[in-house]
Amino acid sequence: MGDKIRVPVRRGEQTEERRWLSWATPEFQIQQHRHSTLPFVKVKKFNKSTRNDLASPAILPSLCFIPPTIQLASRKRAAEAICCFQTPPVMLPPHLPPDSPYTHCYCEENIYLLAQKFISDSGVNGDWNVYIVFISNDSKTVVLRNQKNAPHEDLPVCWDYHVVLLLRNVSIYPPSDTENCNWVYDFDTRLPVPVPLAGIRRSSNDSHRIPVTDRYKLEYLRQTFSDQLPENFQSLFRLVPGEVYLEYFASDRSHMVHGDGSLLSPPPLYPPIYGSKILGRGIRSNLMENFVCMTPSDDKFGNVYSLHNFERWARGQS
């Protein structure tokens, strides 16, 4: 079983009282016994290299709740390693509610209702900022991979636009390269929901250490978009605060009607959606003009990013 190393915790104001999640690695396992108030590190091979790994913040993924300072001491060796963590614990995002309404080809309304649910939930709204992400370009031809609507899982889909929801952890500011604080909810992706927007970045010195779990290999931007496509197939991203979307969105669903009056896809059974600050202003629809359109303008909502700049935003670099 290897050495068992007791990990005394220097308790302070930032210390999380929650129990840790178990996390296994090829070399050791961090866990907490249910009858113990202190976590343990079970080491299969304890040597200088292992101590260096233990002392690196890269060893602990975002799925662990991390006390601010941990001291590691071996009972078999007179060696100690000190781990100092400057960032607060990272919270797991909420699950996609199982009763979330979904209508095929009406992503903007599916996401509106999900945003409504998250923003009205104090358990979510207190810890997460809600954003709506519109994905399109000037030619209305964006290519996305890993979409359920593709005829085959290896083939991409070309949409005129797409809409997803993004949660950003409010406790991490500025966002960190080593923590997943942005999570995407896409009803139409083949990836897990939610899924990290951008994966954990590691330096070349850390690349040989602890492998990222399979879930963290699935980062939404890299697995869905490509910057190697012709320009007319590359995506732009309009990032809109969730509250703004709920207040100002309006759609009479006319964009889903052919010239002969036939429907591109059957509409939802509930009435068309109009935000609280749109009602009574005579606006029938602003979906395409104020949200899907990627031309920067003062009368539109949110900010527009290229793929590269959106990834920089996710990592807190812009």
Annotated catalytic residue: which of 53, 181, 186, 188? Answer: 186
Q: Is 107 a catalytic residue?
A: yes
Q: Is 162 a catalytic residue?
A: yes
Annotated catalytic residue: which of 83, 162, 181, 293? Answer: 162
HEC states along 222-240? HHHCCCCCCHHHCCEEEEE
Q: Is 84 a catalytic residue?
A: no
Annotated catalytic residue: which of 53, 83, 107, 188? Answer: 107
HEC states along 147-188? ECCCCCCCCCEEECCEEEEEEEECCCCCCCCCCCCEEEECCC
Cα(250)–Cα(236) distance, integer angstroms: 21
- Computed over its alpha carbons, how large is the radius of gyration of the chain? 23
Cα(57)–Cα(43) distance, integer angstroms: 17
Cβ neighbors of 137 (< 8 A, separation 6 or more) are 232, 233, 234, 235, 236, 294
Residues marked active site are found at: 107, 162, 186
